[in-house]
Amino acid sequence: MKPQDEQTHFGYKSVARDEKQGLVADVFHSVAAKYDVMNDLMSFGVHRLWKRHTIACSGARQGQTILDLAGGTGDLTSRFSDIVGPEGQVILGDINDSMLKVGREKLRNLGKVGNIEYVQMNAEALPFPDNTFDLITIAFGLRNVTDKSKALASMQRVLKPGGRLLVLEFSKPIYEPLNKAYDFYSFNLLPGMGQLVANDAESYRYLAESIRMHPDQETLKSMMEEVGFEMTSYENLTGGIVALHKGFKF
């Protein structure tokens, strides 16, 4: 057994830190093909509203350079591509090549070409020079990162002065009745839905567990401040089931 400081969590399990990345990769290799369908089913379509709100809060403008980190199947990238136009650039970054392939095919089928680049990358060591991006978004990806503080520091490094980070992630419901209902749904219904649609109950059980192990709203805000983000804030969406955290680099 490895020492405690070399352990991390994979859902509710304790695993070696150097094993988590591969375990998470297996989950997303498994769910990539059905990812969009399951997102609509799991959230009853509300994930589209959460992402639309994130776009509205982004301040994205024509000509900017944007990193959509853990961008998966490209929902945010698609809209950012329209906003930044031919003078701008959007990089869809993801650690998982299966998700990148699904995102690339989906966006190219939508005619999104010319200002989008697809890059496989690890959030903990972003392969870009300092002060590269006007905006970084990471939607429903941070909870899967092994060292979240290291990833946040990497994001802060590659943002331009004046740039902003938006973290859209499942969080802690602020009403106890909602919290109980959410737990029942996550652990009793979601794995069965995953089995029925994606033939994979275990991956969706992990996804539910990973949400519960993710830092709550105030903890994540503090983590962002500790690596240098300023004017940090968060907004609870759908009663805190999801939170949108914001931070700036100055």
Contacts of 216 (CB under 8 A, 6+ apart): 171, 172
**Rounded distance between C-alpha atoms, residue 193 and residue 145, angstroms:** 25
Q: What are phi and psi of 237, to 5 degrees?
A: -120, 140
Residue 128 zone, left/alpha/beta (φ > 0; ψ -120 to 50; rest): beta
Closest CA to 116 of 142, 147, 79, 169: 79
Structure tokens at 138: 């990471």
Q: Between vectors from CA 84 to CA 119 and to CA 129, what angle results, nearest 5°?
A: 45
94 is in an annotated binding site: yes
6-to-15, 18, 78, 105, 204 alpha-carbon distances in Å: 9, 8, 38, 38, 25
Whole-angstrom Cα distance, residue 103 to residue 100? 5
Task: Say if residue 130 carries a ligand binding annotation.
Answer: no
Tokens representing residue 117 in the block = 């680049």
Is 109 marked as a binding-site residue?
no
**DSSP annotation string for 156-171:** HHHEEEEEEEEEEEE-
Pick out the residues of the known binding site.
73, 94, 122-123
Summarize the annotated binding site for S-adenosyl-L-methionine as residue ranges: 73, 94, 122-123
